[in-house]
Amino acid sequence: MIPTLTWTPEGVRFIDQTKLPLEESYVLATTYEQVAEVIVTMVVRGAPAIGVSAAYGVALGAKNTQARTVEEFRPEFERICTRLASTRPTAVNLFWAIDRMKALFATLAASGLSLDEIRQKLLAEAHTMYEDDIAACKQMGAYGAESMPQEGGVLTHCNAGALATCGYGTALGVIRGAVEQGKKIQVYADETRPFLQGARLTAWELMADQIPTTVICDNMAATLMRQGKIQAVVVGADRIAANGDTANKVGTYNVAILAREHDIPFYVAAPWSTIDMATPTGDQIPIEERPAKEVTHFAGRQVTPNGVEIRNPAFDVTPARYIAAIFTERGVLRAPYNESLKAMELAG
């Protein structure tokens, strides 16, 4: 299994995703501040992995505190949560996880538990989120696999795999599920400029599983679709609004439009923790702007003229009308998404 993040007695151990695939190395975060740094620098990335990392960050903050009582710890707990929440704005899983830790802390503190007991329960909660995430990926993978072609090409954008979750993956979980069902899938992985999650990470983890994978540059998808090489598209999500509009890695929207033009179904796979019923449409989803250097430089070398203006939005929003279905661990959602999401929320 790919060790995206692992709790150890010393802290949280992350595989360094900035170094893959050429170097398999690890970063050990022993403080919540280091966990925050690891998220900002994208040593760990991908919405579900970010959420669970933050939960472990909170548990680590509680473990390391010098406070002796719950009341002494309370303001520090708030600071820990605020710092972790400030790392990346788009993936709603981050806020979902922190809110869950906050709610647990409030309940435990109100019921008079000692700081030591609270510490243990915060860590247990992070472990539960970790395990639940893997189970959710496997379940949505099984649901989504049904919609994959018996034999054919499946395009994915970015990395929504084991490296973006606690294991198995969302979009790549659907592909893994299809392969487990005996389907013959040829994956096409968009390279995903500027951070190259597709070329570096998706290719790396699918090759480890011996799933046939071809990397293409982002601007080659239309050509392959026109050649009939792609029968389905499946991507992950960073936040799904109440109407089904989906934020995912920048370039996803392009792929959705191309898929529509070529009559190819475009699917989204995400755990329920990625669904944000409090955000009505994609227009309200905050989009992270990343450092210009990710665009001005390629593999450490400057590729643009000095001083040129740069934009680097890390995500885009695909309108719900392009999405053939959303696979979650609770089941498969179809349009109209405002209704199917609401119904699934009520069903729990």
Please give the residue whose beta carbon sits closest to ligand MRU in the complex: 236
Contact 118, 62 (CB under 8 A): yes
Catalytic residue among 133, 238, 245, 276: 238
- Asked whether position 248 contacts ligand MRU by CB under 6 A, the answer is yes
Gap between the Cα atoms of 278 and 183, Å rounded = 37
- Asked whether position 2 contacts ligand MRU by CB under 6 A, the answer is no
- Asked whether position 87 contacts ligand MRU by CB under 6 A, the answer is no
Count of chain residues binding ligand MRU (CB under 6 A): 17
Which residue in this structure is represented by tokens 């026109």? 226
Nearer to ligand MRU, 83 or 249 (CB): 249
Q: What is the largest CA-CA distance in the chain?
A: 66
- Asked whether position 238 contacts ligand MRU by CB under 6 A, the answer is yes
Q: How far is the CB of 75 from ligand MRU (least distance, A)?
A: 30
Gap between the Cα atoms of 198 and 157, Å rounded = 6
Closest CA to 157 of 135, 176, 172: 172
Find the Cα–Cα–Cα–Cα dihedral 236, 303, 206, 257, rounded to 10°.
40
Which residue in this structure is represented by tokens 């790396």? 204
Binders of ligand MRU among 164-223, rule CB under 6 A?
Answer: 164-165, 170, 197
Retrieve residue 94's tokens.
């981050």
Gap between the Cα atoms of 327 and 170, Å rounded = 9
Active site residue 116: no
Q: Taking CA 278 as the corner, what is the angle to CA 56 and CA 328, rounded to the nearest 5 degrees? A: 65
- Asked whether position 94 contacts ligand MRU by CB under 6 A, the answer is no
Q: How far is the CB of 81 from ligand MRU (least distance, A)?
A: 20
Tell me the per-residue interface mask from 124 to 163 with ligand MRU, x by CB under 6 A, - otherwise: ----------------------------------x-x---
Catalytic residue IDs = 238
Q: Which residues bind ligand MRU (CB under 6 A)?
A: 45-48, 91, 158, 160, 164-165, 170, 197, 236-238, 248-249, 314
